[in-house]
């Protein structure tokens, strides 16, 4: 319920936890319900006053990590970037296996311009966590884009996209929009713009009624606009 963004149902579950004697857990999920309702200030206050200040989960690092992850979300919601980073650092320190916290922390590295460090972190995770592979591929592609063409090395990105294709087949979603858009971006940077356009057009034809594939249409329109086919780009966007 918490991850799905529930509010009223989650509040009811929190009250039940408090009723049966699991007060701290009830307080956590009550704060989560407020965060899901975008009441960042209220959620933050509850976490700090009821859990953090009393060190309720002092001997249970995984739960401390979840609290700090939620705190980071709240700080982000109110625009307190420094405290957000501090909370994420604490969440990762308490539980390095907290995937959401680690990914948020790595996103912070990217925002700070530490792309190489972010790539290194994602590489450490990519062998076992398929969910990070698309973002690692994207960073590798964009890092190559920033280099002189003579210095670009596409081998790792290509291997990673091939792995993402295999992941998609296992999930029952062959040629997912994410993989298609990333591969088209890479091919365009490699000077294979026509092949990239054909790849995107084929994906649009297959996923015409798939609202989750909107990024394929956007990438197609960007490809057309780059060739100064502005009318075609507008038509593609209208068709999305």
For residue 59, give every residue at least 6 positions away whose Cβ sits within 8 Å of its Cβ, in sequence order, or none: none
pLDDT per residue as tens digits for the range 108-164: 889 889 999 999 999 999 989 999 999 999 999 999 999 999 999 999 999 999 999
For residue 217, pLDDT over 70 is answered with no
pLDDT band at 208 (very low <50, low <70, confident <90, very high): low
- DSSP code string of 109-126: HHHTT-HHHHHHHHHHHH
User: What pLDDT was estimated at residue 170?
Assistant: 81
Which stretch of 44-53, 72-81, 95-104, 205-214 has the lowest confidence by average pLDDT? 205-214
pTM, full prediction: 0.72
């Amino acid at each position: 319920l918490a991850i799905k963004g529930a509010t009223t149902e989650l509040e009811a579950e929190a009250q039940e936890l408090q009723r049966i004697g699991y007060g701290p857990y009830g307080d956590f999920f009550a704060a989560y319900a407020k965060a899901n309702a975008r009441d960042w200030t209220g959620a933050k206050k509850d976490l700090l006053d009821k859990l953090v200040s009393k060190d309720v989960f002092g001997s249970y690092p995984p739960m401390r990590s979840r609290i700090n992850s939620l705190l980071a979300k709240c700080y982000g919601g109110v625009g307190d970037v420094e405290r957000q980073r501090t909370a994420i650092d604490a969440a990762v320190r308490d539980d390095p296996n907290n995937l959401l916290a680690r990914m948020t922390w790595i996103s912070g590295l990217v925002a700070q311009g530490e792309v190489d460090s972010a790539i290194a972190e994602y590489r450490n995770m990519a062998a076992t966590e398929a969910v990070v592979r698309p973002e690692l591929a994207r960073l590798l592609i964009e890092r190559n884009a920033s280099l002189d063409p003579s210095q670009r090395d596409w081998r790792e990105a290509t291997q990673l996209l091939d792995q993402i294709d295999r992941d998609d087949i296992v999930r029952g979603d062959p040629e997912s929009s994410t993989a298609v858009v990333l591969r088209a971006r890479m091919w365009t940077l490699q000077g294979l713009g026509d092949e990239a356009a054909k790849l995107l057009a084929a994906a649009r034809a297959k996923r015409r009624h798939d609202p989750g594939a909107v990024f394929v249409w956007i990438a197609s329109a960007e490809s057309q606009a780059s060739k100064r086919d502005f009318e075609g780009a507008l038509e593609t966007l209208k068709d999305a």
